Structure 1
Amino acid sequence: MTALLGLGTYRVPGEELAAAARRAAGSPYAWIDTAPNYGAGRAHRLLAPALADHLHLRVATKAGFLTPATARAAHAAGVVNTPLTRHSITDRFLRWQTERSRTELGRDRLDAVFVHNPEYDRGDHHELADRLRTAFAVLEEQACSGRLAAYGVATWSGFTEGAFTVPVLDRLATEAAGTREHHLSIIQLPVSLVMDTHFRQALHGRGPIAQAEGRGWEIHASAPLHGGELPSLATPEVAALLREGASVAAACIAAVASCPGISRVLLATGKAAHWSEALGVVGAPAISSDELRTVLDVLAAPL
C-alpha cells in the first residue's frame, strides 16, 4: 500500500489556497500542512474558511519561523527579544505562536504542530538538545490539555547534517514528558528522487524513516517534486520505469509514495488537474523496492 496524499501549502499562491483546501477536503484522510510564515504570513487566514466548512479536514501547522509582521507582534507581546527575530523555538514563543495559530485557523485543537527546522540556528549539539527538550515540554503541556493531538519535527537538513536523530528526538520527548508515552509521533522531511539520501536509506531499512516507522510514528514526505524542479530533471523514460503511462511529475510522486515507511506525501499545488493526477497514482499499488532502487541508480549514474 502506498502513502496517503496531503496538501502542502508552502508554494501554493494565495489566490489558489482556499480552492486547493476545499479540493483536499474531498480526498481520503484529508490533511493540510501549513505554517504561520507561509504565504507571506497569510496562509492561516486564507485557509480558515475552508477549515470551518470542512471540519473533517485535519490540519498541521508549525512554529519556528517569523515573518517581519509576526516578529513585531511577538516582540510587542514580550515573547521575543527583538522585532528582527526570524526564528525562535523558545518556550515563550511556542506558547504564543501555537495559541495564535489556533485562533487564525479557527481550531480549538490542532492535529499536529511541528517544531520548524530546529537546525536553523542550532549552536552546538548540547544547546540544540536543550532547546528541543524545552520546546517538547511546551507541546506536551498543550497535548495533555487537549489543544493539540500530536507534535513532531519538520526538518530540511537536520537528519542529514547530524543535528539530531530519531532516537535523540525520542529521548528528548521522553525527558520532556517524564514518560515514554509522549505525544511526539510525527516527523516531516524532504524525500524525492533528487534529495534521495533518506529514500535510499529507507529502501535498506535504515535511517530516520525506518527508525520513525519502527516507533510507530507518522512520516510525512515534503518536496516530492523538489520544489517543482524534478519534472524537468527526470525523463519520460524514467517515468515509464516507475509508472507506465503517468506523467513525469506523477511518476515521481508515485515513487515517493512507495518509499517504505512514508505515511503521507505532501504535494503543494493549487491546480485541480495536478491534484487529481497525484491522487490517482498515490492510490495505485506501490512500486517495488527493487524497481525504486533501479530508478535511483539510473538517476545517480554519470552522464
Structure 2
Amino acid sequence: MATREATWAYRDDHDDFARTFYRRFGDGVVSSIGVGTYLGDPTDERDDAYHDAIVTALDGGVNVLDTAINYRHQRSERVVGRALADADVDREAVVVATKGGFVPFDGERPENPGAYVQSEYVDTGIVDADALVSGQHCIAPEFLDDQLDRSLDNLGLDTVDLYYVHNPETQLAEHSRAEVYDQLEAAFERLEERAAAGDLKHYGVATWEAFRVPESHDSYLSLPEVVERARSAAKSVGNTATHFRAIQLPFNVFMADAFSVAAHDGADGPQSALWFAHEAGLDVFTSASIMQGRLAEEMPESVEGKLDGETRAQRALNFARSAPGVTCSLVGTGSAEHAEENVDAGRYEPLGAEAFDAVFE
C-alpha cells in the first residue's frame, strides 16, 4: 500500500511542478491530477493504450490511479495492475483506488446479462436477489466482500489504498433514504473490518448525484449523515477511529454543483459538499474533470481567460483542482499523448481562492 515515506520520496523525485501540485492525503502526498479509467471499449487494443498511458503518467509524476471493478467489465482494474507492475515506480508511492457496487461482467458483455448475473452471483449465494436494485447494483456487506477480493486479484495487490462504495444513491430507486443509510452503515462495518485486516487502507463513497443535488432531489444523500454512519460503524466493530477518508463526485466548469449547492448541514448552517468535506477533514477526488472530453472542445470564455495552461484540457483540469478542499482531480487518460498533456497541466498554478470565488460572482 501507499506509504508516507514512499509518496514523499516520489514527490521529491518529481520537483518540477507548480507549488500546489502535490497535496496531503493522510500522512502522505498525492498528485492533484489522477488517472481515470472509466471510458473506452472492452478490447485488447484499448487495454494496451491504457497500459501505456498509465505507465507514462506514473513515470511523469502522477501517483493516483482510479478505477472500479465494473469499468470496462473488469478490464480497467486488470490493466491498472499490469501497468503498475511494469512502471518504474515503487508500488508504495502510488495511491490505487477502486470501487464496488455495480455487478460487473467479466471481460466482455455477455449475450444475456440477466442470466449471467443470476448464475454468477444469485445462484452462487453471493447476492440475494432481493438486495439487487435494477438487477445491477448491490451494497450488501457479503457482496462488497466478494467484490473487494476480486478487485485485489485483478489489481495484483494485497491492499487497496482507497475503496469506494460506488453510487449508493442507485439504491434510492427502490429503498427509502433511511434504509439506504442503514445499508451504508452495514457496508461500512464490513469495510472497517477489512481495513483492520489490512485489505484496504481507507474507504469512502463515490457518487454521481448524491452529494451535489438539493435535499429535495430524489438522489440526495446527506454527507453529514454518511459521515456519522461511518463513525458508528467504526465504533461498532471496535476500531478506535473510522477509516472513512474520502468522497468522489463530479466537478468541472459546467458541473459546479458540489461548490455552489449548499445542501449539507454544517456547524453554521447549510454548506456545499466541498466545504463540508473540507471542514470535516475528508479528501475530495473529483471525477468528470474535463467532462469526458467536452471541455477540451468548449469552455466559457469568462472562465477560460482566468486559467493557466497551454491547452483547453489543461485549463479545465486546473479549474477542477482549484476548488476548495479538492485533493485530486481525475481525468480519463486513454493514450500516452493524453497522459503527457494531463501531467503537464500540473506545471501551471491553479486559481487562488479569491480568483476561484470570482468565477461564481
The TM-score, its normalising length taken from structure 1, stands at 0.88
CA distance in 2, matches of 1:287, 1:106: 38
CA distance in 1, matches of 2:305, 2:188: 44
The answer to whether 1:10 aligns with 2:74 is no
Matched with 2:161 is 111
CA distance in 1, matches of 2:330, 2:233: 29
Number of residue pairs matched?
294
Name the aligned partner's letter for residue 81 of structure 2.
A
Matched with 2:201 is 149
Matched with 1:192 is 252
- Secondary structure of 2:330's match? strand
What is the CA-CA distance between 1:19 and the residue it aligns to? 1.1
1:121-200 correspondence runs (5 A): 121-122=171-172, 123-161=175-213, 162=215, 163-178=220-235, 181-200=241-260
Q: 1:255 to 1:18 in 2, by over 3 A?
A: same
1:83-94 correspondence runs (5 A): 85-94=135-144
CA distance in 2, matches of 1:28, 1:236: 30
Asked if 1 retains the 8 angstrom alpha-carbon contact of 2:62 and 2:343, the reply is: no
Q: 1:29 to 1:146 in 2, by over 3 A?
A: farther
- Secondary structure of 1:233's match? coil
Matched with 1:31 is 64
What is the CA-CA distance between 1:76 and the residue it aligns to? 4.2
Matched with 2:290 is 225
- Secondary structure of 1:220's match? strand
Among 280, 284, 306, the alignment partner of 1:215 is 280
Q: 1:233 to 1:296 in 2, by over 3 A?
A: farther
Q: 1:108 to 1:209 in 2, by over 3 A?
A: same
CA distance in 1, matches of 2:260, 2:343: 24
Unaligned runs of 5+ residues in structure 1 are: 298-303
Matched with 1:61 is 98
CA distance in 2, matches of 1:193, 1:238: 8
CA distance in 2, matches of 1:24, 1:167: 35
Asked if 1 retains the 8 angstrom alpha-carbon contact of 2:204 and 2:244, the reply is: yes
Name the aligned partner's letter for residue 251 of structure 2.
V
Quote the RMSD (CA, aligned, Å).
2.4
What is the CA-CA distance between 1:130 and the residue it aligns to? 0.6
CA distance in 2, matches of 1:273, 1:21: 11
Unaligned runs of 5+ residues in structure 2 are: 1-19, 24-31, 41-45, 107-115, 263-269
Asked if 2 retains the 8 angstrom alpha-carbon contact of 1:165 and 1:208, the reply is: no
Name the aligned partner's letter for residue 133 of structure 1.
E
The TM-score, its normalising length taken from structure 2, stands at 0.75
